[in-house]
Structure 1
């Protein structure tokens, strides 16, 4: 069943805006979204309701997509009045940008007024949501628009789950796939990400095998993820075929050598029985040459893995360029010739502000310009 059909509220406040209803005390309360049916049952019992009301509340939150407890009409008006101020945990759409191919990028305003990005990517057979795990990103990757905007804070589990419900409501279509490839480094927010994966699976009904968690690699955290024994796909942002080049592109690689990262990925395969996907952004004349393909093939030979090549999506802050299609095809063929499983992922929604972090940055700039 699809979530509620009510139109999400459109907002035009600045990134740091806070609604009049969101006092610091209210924001400190952990909302209901993201809680399991068992946790919701415990909550309704604590608030004077019989246990069976927990299942009803679960249905209204995850299937009907309520934004306020006032909407739960199966509960008495008296009880709804008593708990009406308790937050469900839904965001509001601050801005919505649709590409001709149907991809929709959302800026979502959270309860504290901060803004995050989420993306809905439709196809004939599936609807994928690209979710954020942090507000901004502390990793500082040189080619990434999100990293240029700095880091604010981690997202809570409910703030991640809300992104999926929001996209599902707006598309009026069930979400089938989740990729943690939006703003932020998921493995710097592991607890909330794991909580979101479990809620999206158990509460919304999206299979774990339909979820991908992307990371540049945080020492020890890939093993932590493996210990959870989840059926997700691990996608490691490699982006380079040797340590020197990777350090140039990803500052954190200085503390995490490529050899150590790959060893931890091999441990992940052994612990979970699932292959690792390696993301490799192709940057013209930087990491897309024949020698880079040969190095990459050498590192991954015999590895239970798959390589996703991603032609670069240019941003205004740096001078990196997208390689030609011929260069992309040549790199791909060289990996195939050496027995490496590989595919090319051409980004959807390549029009204005397509790269992750760009839309949020552009709207912030507009706000500043308007206020000047």
Structure 2
């Protein structure tokens, strides 16, 4: 039997465990032991019978998974759910969302919106999320109170909002937040320059310099629509990805969100620089922004994560639905029914997200030594029957996911 302490904190007996490392393994009638918030061992149920635990969960009809990682969103925008539906991106932003934010967004709006978003995400299996929104200090307080893991991505823009006047103030406040939470076990901080069309090259260069000096991640909306790319070529003589590369903003710390309009050389550049892509299929479909070439990115060796984007452009924060949408969209886009199988979609929502956020040594798979961020998904309902021993239909969005523990 795997060497364990005489007593562990938690022992979970599950019908199946999908550890995600190795990616293809499905462990049937296994147990998982937790101590001090970390995974101690995965072992057959017969061996686990000899282990003493302070608390035990017996989940024979459930599959145990790593907690899902929502790698991009705007949590407080849950209060704008359904606002200005059926609009393309720029009119949606410029004529509806930005005016509404100017009128309503403040600390209380963010606190209530983030708490609502966290409740929705936890109920659908997300234990880690990346948030890019105003008043990230308020988001940090709500995250701390609710015990979820978060990358606080502070926004950087050229124009004033309720949170800051200009890029310098956004950066100053964001770095102050980084100092405040740098020892927090559940929070990290990242730069969030909104997009190349809202942040000047000079300010993007400033972000690139500071991010490199401080070893801080950068998340940015990029190549979201064909029109955005065309506008960049007209104004700056280069496609946005090339401009970011020239400014030193592409690298293993960079999280490129959306990426619907890509050429083969650009995909090769992403692979070469080690930059990550965050795919938000439902948001891209709702806004008719385009489709990220996920199959080509994965084939090139680019790490791809999944995000819901905000509830205003989705209209939910459910990563199970996002996995299904990503898988179906990849098949439709590529014309290949074998594109993005369920196991790969799950990997994008777990290990892929963990890698993008620089947390792959802590979360994203159920391995001894990692944080015990996990969910148990009930497969006993009619929506998931018949359930084969290979759990072939575990990714259906009809499954009820519930958080078992979050380290």
TM-score by length of 2: 0.38
The structure with more strand, counted as a fraction of residues: 2
Whose RCO is larger (CA < 8 A, sep 6+)? 2
